[in-house]
Chains A and B, each alone.
Chain A
Amino acid sequence: MRDVSRRTALALGAGGAALSFVGWNGAAWATAEEAAAAIAKFTGGKTPEKGRIAIELPEIAENGNTVPLSVSVDAPMTADDYVSEVLVVGEGNPRPGVITFHFTPMSAKAAASTRIRLAATQNIIVVAKTSKGAFYTEQKLVKVTIGGCGG
């Protein structure tokens, strides 16, 4: 009897801890959900295939105000088979959208660079759309020391 009550107490304790963990994480998941929603809107609900994309980002960004980002997609870039759009979203900013690149066969390379803001450590997800309607995706985690969204 004593043993059972001890177990019950442990289970209750663990459950309480799990609940508070979910509660805390729930806030972070909201942004991941928004990112997923932005991706679903971009792909029209299709699940993108993993691969073909290279993302260059620092592993640790000391200053989230300006973080260099380069994206390139392995694609022929011919008139009938090219990457037309590349969506970049983040899971840890106030809003998921970062940038959308629009390419043409004249782009020659489905590659572009910019500098982004990161409010906190987060996954950056890149989704590429081809002229044939295929979707590819890749993601990268960036650790941020000082967030870049001001106070």
Chain B
Amino acid sequence: MADKPRLKIPSEAKKGDIVEIKTLMPHVMESGQRKDKDGKVIPRKIINKFTCTFNGKPVFSADLEPAIAANPYLQFYVRVEESGTFKFAWTDDDGTVTTAEQSITVG
């Protein structure tokens, strides 16, 4: 996969702040409902799971269905009490897991 996931997270926050996290994973999200020009069904291939942890603790996750648009975008919130690292993982139908991480300084 050529394109890396994109993250938008503040680099700094105050203790107890609620920070907004935006993620975008470049992916075709082939629904399994479309047919090619010969009338054959194009097999389903989607990102079916997304997870976010902070310092190893689960924060947010999502189970995605074919009704999620291509290049799945997810926006959500996290309350941060300490500095640390967000880790993100996107699981493809074929088992491939794409990961990304970003740190935040909490003062």
Contact = CB atoms under 8 A, between A and B. Distances in A.
A67 B63 CA distance: 18
Size bracket of the A interface: 20 to 34
Contacts, number: 98
A113 B70 contact: no
B38 to A, nearest CB: 13
A99 B77 contact: no
Interface stretch (A11-19, A21-29, A89-97): A89-97
A106 B59 CA distance: 6
Interface stretch (A1-9, A47-55, A126-134, A143-151): A143-151
A89 to B, nearest CB: 9
Given A106-B79, A111-B77, A114-B75, A101 B60 contact: yes
Contact of A94 (B33, B59, B79): B33
B57 interface: yes
A117 B69 contact: yes
Given A116-B67, A117-B69, A106 B31 contact: no
Interface of A: 65-67, 70, 90, 93-95, 97-104, 106-109, 111-118, 148-151
